[in-house]
Amino acid sequence: MTALRLDGKAAAAQVKEDLRQRVERLAAQGSRPGLGTILVGNDPGSVKYVEGKHKDCQEVGIRSIRVDLPGDAGFDRIVEAVRSLNANPDCTGYIVQLPLPKGVDPTAIIEEIDPGKDADGMHPYNLGQLVLHTDGKVNTPLPCTPRGILWLLDHHGIDLNGKEVCVLGRGLTVGRTVGLMLTNRSINATVTLCHTGTADPGSAMRRADLIIAAVGQAGFVKPADVKPGAVLVDVGVSRVWDEDQGRWRIKGDVDPAAREVCSAYTPNPGGIGPMTRAMLLANVVDAAEREVRMRPTGKPQRDTPGSLR
């Protein structure tokens, strides 16, 4: 049987259409979500990524607020920009684009972000909410890539209850956070996290019903590592020189030959990347809706628990 291709572009388009309708409803209530970005320097990859975020905003009707700083901006100047967006009522969520200049601690910068405006879901307070709420009923911004992964799997009817999941890579944006979300009671998966200290990651992969690869090593997951019928989620990105075409190409962590063994897979590119961007917008719209729910009495009201999927 041919493996199911989990098309992130098509799924992200559906998410954006839903967000566009939610933005219209917010406008009828006198509210307009706003996404802010803080970009330091002119790294080509970062510039392209930020431009893509603002293009996404235009598609769904979200206000764009762009703050560009020179590459030699230091800690104090970046914090000043962060605090400015914290105080800006037009900004309901924002991100500080990484990497930052050498010598600037990104964790210290992230800690300055208003947790309610943390569009990446990476503020320590929001990560703590993931740890505390083992039932999955989290009302704070969620990490975008894990949220996008789980939304895409749920969209295709892939049930993870009681399943074995192997996560490759312990980075904060995916590896460490997706495990928290997968193991809450509403999803109920069993997770093995593999990293450079794991003696035999192959055995963990071969047991897994789902492999989430986020190590940034092209072709790391081979066909022999995959249990027949497993699902493959390819998050890692590497630039590899293509001798035949004479140019650099983007490659994922999963060897394309492994698709012959699995039941479903995400392409790379075109899989999780579009979902990550869509979930960034979702966090911004979620924040605007929370603000509207606070208006009648001026006091926070109990939110409807947000879905991790």
pLDDT at residue 302, rounded to an integer: 44
**Would the annotation count 171 as a binding residue?**
yes
- Could you tell me if 100 and 150 are in contact, meaning their C-beta atoms sit under 8 angstroms apart? no
Mean per-residue pLDDT, 118-142: 95
Q: Which one from 16, 56, 97, 117 is the annotated catalytic residue?
A: 97
Q: Which one from 118, 120, 225, 253 is the annotated catalytic residue?
A: 120
Verdict on whether the full-model pTM lies above 0.85: yes
pLDDT at residue 241, rounded to an integer: 80
**Would the annotation count 15 as a binding residue?**
no
pLDDT at residue 45, rounded to an integer: 87
**Would the annotation count 290 as a binding residue?**
no
In the chain, list all ranges with CATH 3.40.50.720. Answer: 142-272
Mean confidence (pLDDT) of the chain:
94
Q: Is the pLDDT of residue 301 over 80?
A: no
pLDDT at residue 245, rounded to an integer: 80
In the chain, list all ranges with CATH 3.40.50.10860. Answer: 30-117
Mean per-residue pLDDT, 165-185: 96
Q: What is the pLDDT of residues 216-269, one digit of tens each?
A: 999 999 999 999 999 999 999 998 888 888 888 889 999 999 999 999 999 999
Q: Is the pLDDT of residue 308 over 60?
A: no
Q: Which fold has domain 30-117?
A: Rossmann fold (3.40.50)
Q: What is the pLDDT of residues 69-126, one digit of tens each?
A: 999 999 999 999 999 999 999 999 999 999 999 999 999 999 999 999 999 999 999 9
CA–CA dist 210, 233 (Å, integer): 8
Q: What is the pLDDT of residues 6-30, one digit of tens each?
A: 999 999 999 999 999 999 999 999 9
CA–CA dist 173, 190 (Å, integer): 19
Question: Which residue type is seen at 206?
Answer: R
Active site residue 129: no
- Give me the CATH code for the 142-272 domain, please: 3.40.50.720
Q: Which one from 16, 53, 117, 227 is the annotated catalytic residue?
A: 53
pLDDT at residue 253, rounded to an integer: 98
**Would the annotation count 202 as a binding residue?**
no
Active site residue 21: no
Active site residue 120: yes
Residue with tokens 């049987």: 1
